[in-house]
Structure 1
Amino acid sequence: MVTKFKNHLAKTNLAKNTVTSYVWTVQYFLNHYGEVNKKNLLAYKGYLVENFKPQTVNLRLQGINKYLEFTKQEKLKVKFVKVQQKNFLENVISDADYKFLKAQLKADGYDEWYFIVWFMAATGARVSELLHIKAEHIQIGHLDLYSKGGKIRRLYIPKNLSTEAAKWLREIGLTSGYIFLNRFGQRITTRGIASQLKHFAEKYGMNKEVVYPHSFRHRFAKNFLDRFNDLALLADLMGHESIETTRIYLRRTASEQQKIVDKVVNW
């Protein structure tokens, strides 16, 4: 039955890693709890709650519930645990640190990394999306990204960025194809970007906790709302399915909250 479940999931739009996670969860449950009944399902949920974070618990329960749907046992579906959202954004690079890092990379001649950081912070691109940018996209000022559901999201490249990037590409003689390459002339990997950013954080004495690829996407969102307070537009630019996901950027970062408290509270 698990094999049939796996084949069923493979025909959906779920990511490969998600399918693997769901199948592993179901196999684990069946191996350790045997019969699928309410008592065993609640026991498994209790085990998850005691040993894992809420997000992980819900991921496992989602796998179980998908299996219950597949086996026509919807009445046994398990309720998710409530995830308490933080009232602040955590580990987001500040605008000052972003500008400092960009300036240092430029001054030290790390042109490719200067543009990698700038592109992430000025377009809101996910690091996986960044790797799809080609010289041709610099010329037209945007890149169209296609999701699994067939939706199109346009990644806009600001004029000042495209102008400077075009100049850089001319200098290195790259007229077409992907622009972010490793020393072997192949596209750099997401892991390679994350690793190198940590290296630069250490090199320049920065907090390594805030220097990672997605941090610059967060910075894009924060800066955009600071300058143009249109949440619906930002949701479109970020590629969020729901505007509720985008609302987190209305919150201040932990460091911003600390500064305000330090400034305001004098009693």
Structure 2
Amino acid sequence: MEEVNKKIFIEYVSHLYSTDKSYEVIGKTIKAVKLFLESDYQVNRKGYKAYIRENAVELSDKPYIKDALCGFLNYLGIGYSRTRKEKYVKPLEKLSDVSEKNMKLMNEFVYYLTQDEDYSPHTIEIYSFSIKKYFEYANEVSVDNYKRFVRMLEDEGLSPRTIRLRITALERFSKWMKKPIELKRPKFKKELNTENVPTEAEYNRLLEYLKTCPNRDRYFFIKILATTGARVSEFFQFKWDDIISGEVTLKGKGNKYRRFFFSRQLQAEVKAYVKESHKTGYVAVGKCGRLTQRSLCQSMKDWGDKCGIDRSKMHPHAFRHFFAKMYLKKNNDVVQLADLLGHGSIDTTRIYLQKSYDEQKKEFNRSVVW
């Protein structure tokens, strides 16, 4: 690589790391730009076009390379862009009712998911609701209708996260119908509201209250969630024997297997409790059988009311966040935390480095003393 290009390359790499791009995207971009700069092509629009044209076969299955090079040229002020003006998509209008044919299709699809696929009840509920909502606005499955339905959701002001869930359900449904359709998903920045995570003091206060309750299972519900960082779907798979043994490997989100560890303190407490109460089988069981996410959520809010803890902090996922915050407090290893939480990207885990308003204020007053 020529000295001029080497200098440009180093500056651009520094620029990339100042953006909010994931490490995976940055890595691919660096590789694409390096190969381009090491070639004999001029670093301008003409050189870019010649490079793409003469390497068309090699680049055919790597569309990200074109985006990477266009972004690089834009950074240099050359102003080359692949962005096209978005075509307006007219949203759908609501139908009078869902046709019998589509009601039958929905029933068959949900039955298929429950019988032939290993989806959680919560996921099936989301898929069922999404498909029903779609058929309230469209009679046929088509790319045009899918795009118009998504536009309607955007016009209704639904969050990008919710729209992505609807799109996932629609794509899965079209695949089941053997008419696979893929849609562009809206981007969103993953953020964690650190104000809605229980504090250590609130957590301890909650445990002290639950210890006094006749049903001590509740105490262990919170203790397990807060010391494993498990998602609620994973928590529902835990058995008393798993905790006593100290670890278990389960299938979690995305059908990926994940290993969970249980602390020695928790093991000892559960072992004594099981011996006393003769508990067996699944942990998350209530008076009427296996718990649901909704029933657990409602119960947790009721427990929070008794302890003076804001209801917004009392749901299963809040204790996954609590686990992450506490782990980083004790061991500032984001990479290891990402592995424990089952995150596919470390960027997802970095949100736990955010500090709450009170933490920021306290740290500010401690640091700014000049």
TM-score above 0.5: yes
Distance (whole Å) between structure 1 residues aligned to residue 142 and residue 147 of structure 2: 10
Change (3 A) 1:255 1:68: farther
1:136 and 2:241 aligned = yes
- Partner of residue 285, structure 2: 181
Letter in structure 2 aligned against 1:50: D
User: Percent identity between the aligned chains?
Assistant: 30
Distance change >3 Å, CA 234–CA 41, structure 1 → 2 = same
User: What is the rounded CA distance, in whole Å, between the counterparts of 1:87 and 1:182 in structure 2?
Assistant: 30
Find the counterpart in structure 2 of residue 158 from structure 1: 263
Q: Which residue of 1 aligns with 2:355?
A: 252
- In the other structure, the counterpart of 2:124 is 16
Unaligned runs of 5+ in 2: 1-100
Q: 2:302 aligns with which of 184, 199, 202?
A: 199
The aligned length equals 258
Q: 1:111 to 1:49 in 2, by over 3 A?
A: same
CA distance in 1, matches of 2:348, 2:282: 30
Query: What residue is the counterpart of 1:27 in the other structure?
Result: 135
SS in 1 for 2:196: coil
Aligned residue for 1:103? 208
Of the three residues 185, 200, 204, the one matched with 1:80 is 185
> Which residue does the alignment assign to 1:209?
312
1:89 pairs with one of 180, 183, 194: 194
1:197-228 Cα shifts (integer Å, max 9, x gaps): 11111112221111111111110111111111
> What do the CA deviations read for 1:68-98 (whole angstroms, capped 9, x no partner)?
88657x7xx6543332444753511111111
Q: 1:236 aligns with which of 339, 342, 347?
A: 339
Residue 105 of structure 1 deviates from its aligned partner by 1.9
2:160 to 42, 54, 57: 54
Any unmatched runs of 5+ in structure 1? none
Larger Rg: 2
Q: 1:22, 1:62 within 8 Å by CA — same for their partners in 2? A: no
CA drift at 1:156: 0.8
Q: Which whole-Å CA distance do the structure 2 matches of 1:149 and 1:43 have between them?
A: 28
Identify if the C-alpha distance between structure 1 residues 108 and 16 changes in structure 2 by more than 3 Å, giving closer, same or farther.
Answer: closer
**Which protein, 1 or 2, shows the higher relative CO under an 8 Å CA cutoff with sep ≥ 6?**
1
Report the residue type matching 1:169 in the other structure: V
Q: Check 1:66–1:226 CA distance in 2 against 1; reply closer, same or farther (3 A cut).
A: same
The equivalent of 1:121 in structure 2 is: 226
Task: State which of 215, 226, 249 in structure 1 corresponds to 2:329.
Answer: 226
Residue 252 of structure 1 aligns to a residue in which SS? coil
Distance 1:219 1:101 in 2: 13
- Pairwise CA RMSD of aligned residues? 3.7
Q: TM-score, normalised by structure 2?
A: 0.57
Q: CA deviation at 1:112?
A: 1.8
Question: What displacement does 1:35 show?
Answer: 10
Contact 2:337 2:349 in 1 (8 A): yes
Q: Deviations over 1:35-77 (max 9, x none)?
A: 9677x776655432231222223334455667888657x7xx6
CA distance in 2, matches of 1:195, 1:18: 19
8 Å CA contact retained: 1:13, 1:149: no
Structure 1 counterpart SS, 2:282: coil
Describe the superposition over 1:91-113 as per-residue Cα deviations: whole angstroms up to 9, x where unpaired: 11111111111122224555221
Q: Write the distance in 2 (CA, Å) between the matches of 1:177 and 1:37.
A: 46
